[in-house]
Structure 1
Amino acid sequence: MFELLLVCAYLVGSFSFAIVLSRYYGNSDPRVQGSGNPGATNMLRVAGKRLAILTLLGDLSKGLVPVLFANAVGLNLQQQAWIGLTAVIGHLYPLYFSFRGGKGVATTAGMLLGLYPPAALLALLVWSLTFFLTRISSLASLASVTLCLPLLAWQQPLALLPVSMLSALLVWRHRSNLKDLLDGTERNFRD
């Protein structure tokens, strides 16, 4: 059962709400506009609030639903964390879209919500405060991940290995943002 759920979580994670919504509403592929990232932040830039919110909710659900399902069928917390990680990997490297996916923050938030809601709430608060102060989504994302994923691992030690791998993956996916942050050229929402 666990192995089957890993495959299903990857396939669910591979579904790109940004790309599908863009096609459905006649917009260009978000991977060739704005930041080139098929996620909620870029959708806000290139397609507006409505599609950004739909993308955010869809991407969040890709991390949440597989974890909740794994919990419902009686898998332990570590197995649930591996399933959540696999859903995030699907988002980062989607089978259906030539392995060109998003940065994984919303899908990770959904995973956190399913595994340990206090960590998800803290992540939302950290993201919101950082974004409010800086207007830089990538910095807010990195701050929430680096502060909240360790909390999850501390409170739920069985999740330590999958959460550590997830943290490394998210920092890796944000490497261009980190470079731009250090160079002072990262996009923000003040402009």
Structure 2
Amino acid sequence: MNTYSTACFTESRFSRYFLSDPYPAFPAPECWTSNLRFPGGFTCGTMVGAVIVDGGPMMPTIASIALVLLAYLSGSIPFSLLVARAWGVDLRVSGSGNVGAANVWRTCGFSAFALAMGGDMLKGALPTIAAQALGLSPLAVVIVGTAAMLGHTRSIFLGFRGGKAVATGGSVVLTLAPLVALPGLAAWAVTFGITRISAVASLTAAAVCGIAAAVLLALGMLPPAYAIFVWGAVAAIVFLHRSNIHRLRTGTENRFEKLF
């Protein structure tokens, strides 16, 4: 699937559409794509957003922007912090000090972890599913997923601080490309079972997802926009784990002693 940007000109107005597969007929007057002219109409993809000068509806663009903002706000909800607080624990001063689900497991137990993990995953998955249901292009869907991840890592409710995007980013990847996410999930489980170190499991899972995305892209089974998102998410997760990587190098990284 490819994403196209088609500019259409008429005598009275200028419209710019962001388009993607599949290719339903979208009638238009005199239209040009780059240097190509298609008199009387053209065949193009689903309209994702429109910016129209000199009249005309703008709802697709408004809806897309609103969904991005909602995704960011959704991602900003600190479910792990709220769940831990219900257990009488302040994550910011307990365990590793991180406001992520792994620290909930470490400080509050597995039941609290399951609730926190579910919340962190839903806040990434639901906006992404909504973007897909609205028929947005792969690029637009990726922007929505990225907004959810950004909200999790730079929450407006936590002074633009947050978690490390593993659960929220993973849920976005799972929604976009299950064949990328599932090997990563398996890698996380195996690595965590062996090492009992959440950071090692998360970094291993991220690496596996990056490789899986490259393979599927090469096989033509993954839109380029989704592959780029996965690689960007991998880079973000590695960056956000830089303190963990330092502790791993010095042998001081936190290890789970008790799972249940």
Which residue of the other structure, out of 50, 60, 65, is the alignment partner of 2:126?
Answer: 65
Measure the CA separation in 2 of the matches of 1:160 and 1:127: 20
Give the structure, 1 or 2, with the largest relative contact order (CA under 8 Å, sep 6 or more). Answer: 1
Structure with more of its chain in strand, by fraction: 2
Q: CA deviation at 1:111?
A: 0.3
Report the residue type matching 1:94 in the other structure.
S
Q: CA deviation at 1:115?
A: 0.2
Report the residue type matching 1:182 in the other structure.
R
Q: Does 1:129 align with 2:190?
A: yes
Larger Rg, first or second structure (1 or 2): 2
Report the residue type matching 2:190 in the other structure.
L
Which moved further from structure 2: 94-103 or 150-159? Answer: 150-159
Q: 1:29 to 1:190 in 2, by over 3 A?
A: closer
Report the residue type matching 2:173 in the other structure.
L
Measure the CA separation in 1 of the matches of 2:232 and 2:67: 19
Normalising by structure 2, we get a TM-score of: 0.69
Q: Which runs of 4+ in 1 moved over 4 A?
A: none
8 Å CA contact 2:84–2:90 kept in 1: the answer is yes
Structure with more of its chain in helix, by fraction: 1
Instruction: Report what 1:3 is aligned to.
Output: 65
8 Å CA contact 2:183–2:212 kept in 1: the answer is no
Instruction: Report what 2:109 is aligned to.
Output: 48
Listed as ranges, the gaps of 5+ residues in structure 1 are: none
Q: Deviations over 1:122-146 (max 9, x none)?
A: 1110101111121111011011112
Q: CA deviation at 1:31?
A: 1.3
Q: CA deviation at 1:53?
A: 0.6
Instruction: Report what 1:187 is aligned to.
Output: 254
Q: SS at the partner of 1:103?
A: coil
Instruction: Report what 1:94 is aligned to.
Output: 155
- Residues 80-159 of structure 1: pairs in structure 2 closer than 5 A: 80-152=141-213, 154=217, 155-159=222-226
Measure the CA separation in 1 of the matches of 2:210 and 2:65: 24
8 Å CA contact 1:92–1:102 kept in 2: the answer is yes
Q: Deviations over 1:156-181 (max 9, x none)?
A: 31224333332222111100001111
Measure the CA separation in 2 of the matches of 1:7 and 1:74: 18
Q: SS at the partner of 1:36?
A: coil
Instruction: Report what 1:28 is aligned to.
Output: 89
Listed as ranges, the gaps of 5+ residues in structure 2 are: 1-62
Q: CA deviation at 1:149?
A: 3.2
Normalising by structure 1, we get a TM-score of: 0.93
8 Å CA contact 2:104–2:113 kept in 1: the answer is yes
Q: Does 1:170 align with 2:237?
A: yes
RMSD: 1.6
Q: SS at the partner of 1:62?
A: helix
8 Å CA contact 1:85–1:163 kept in 2: the answer is no
- Alignment: residue pair count: 190
Q: Deviations over 1:24-56 (max 9, x none)?
A: x25132111110111111001111111111000
